[in-house]
Structure 1
Amino acid sequence: MKPRTTLIALALTSMMAGAHADPHHRRNVCDDCGRVTGVRITEQDGKGGATGVIVGGLAGGLLGNQVGSGTGRQLATVAGAVGGAYAGKHIEGKMNKVKTWTVTVRYENGRTGTFHFRDDPHMRKGDRVHREGPSIVRG
């Protein structure tokens, strides 16, 4: 046989052997490896603290003190302080919004997982990731 014919015969034999391989043989699956299927960013109001309560209460009390005279002025001052404290706490909460990144992963074994991050994990849809402890990392 010519060398070229021998090489063609070997190549065909190799391909045919692969075609008759065990159909139940599966490739190794990494249970901790997957791809990012989605990233969602949500914002929630933060918590208002003592600063908002104090500043709001002082401002409301000063405004309430400008209304009326006598007992009416005292009631307006107290009502203004209470209302101002309440408003100040909520305004401070609006100013301190908290972002959360929710990353969804589909693992090679077919399972899915969801992870939450307080800081941008710099992950995008399609990124390869693997589980590392209770979280995931790119790579």
Structure 2
Amino acid sequence: MKFRTALSTALTALTLSTLMSGAHADPHHKKRVCNECAKVTGVRVVEQDGKGGAAGVIVGGVAGGLLGNQIGSGTGRDLATVAGAVGGAYAGKHIEGKMKTEKTWKVSVRYENGRTGTFQFGHDPHMRKGDRVRREGGTLVRS
């Protein structure tokens, strides 16, 4: 009888220790994931041409018209003037755009849940690869 009691006590203790140690290995007990938290995976600076405006069109058109007016005579001169003005206006707009280049910072992130995303900034966000950030109000802030 003593053997049975000892065996029963040992089995009970073994069962309890197994249950207790299994509490930490429970597959349903997972770490919480922050869906707004991320890590910066890259930062790129991209230069884009600005938009040419009316000033470039006007100056280019006048310059092109003056140059076109120097070519030929009669009807040919009139056509050259018009063609020079149109070509000059087109060129002037693009030249003005090149003079107004804009920098854009593109920050790539990987969220804790595995998703990725990219955010654009018109100024240097002072973020570097490896920084911990959080999406807040449609933009990124440091965590």
For the aligned pair, the TM-score class normalised by the smaller chain equals: 0.7 to 0.9
> Helix, strand or coil for the counterpart of 1:119?
coil
Aligned to 1:43: 47
Query: 1:1-139 counterparts in 2 under 5 A?
Result: 20=21, 21-23=23-25, 24=27, 25-139=29-143
- Counterpart of 2:108 in 1: which secondary structure? strand
- Normalised by the length of structure 2, the TM-score is 0.74
Structure with bigger gyration radius = 2
1:109 Cα deviation (Å)? 2.4
User: Runs of 5+ in structure 1 lacking a partner?
Assistant: 1-18
Distance of 2:46 and 2:92 partners within structure 1: 24
Report the counterpart of residue 7 of structure 1 in structure 2.
none
Shift of 1:94: 1.5
Cα deviation, residue 88, structure 1: 0.6
Cα distance in 2, alignment partners of residues 119 and 109 from structure 1: 28
Report the alpha carbon displacement of residue 99 of structure 1 after superposing the two structures with TM: 2.5
Q: How many residues align?
A: 121
Q: Deviations over 1:82-112 (max 9, x none)?
A: 1111111111122222332221111222222
What CA RMSD, in Å, does the superposition of the two structures yield over aligned residues? Answer: 1.9
> Gaps spanning 5+ residues in structure 2: where?
1-19
* Greater alpha carbon shift after TM alignment, 122-131 vs 38-47: 38-47
**Secondary structure, in 3 states, of the residue corresponding to 2:42?**
strand
Identity of aligned residues (%): 74
SS in 2 for 1:78: helix
TM-score by length of 1: 0.76
Measure, in 1, the Cα distance between the counterparts of 2:48 and 2:110.
27
Query: How far did 1:138 drift?
Result: 1.3
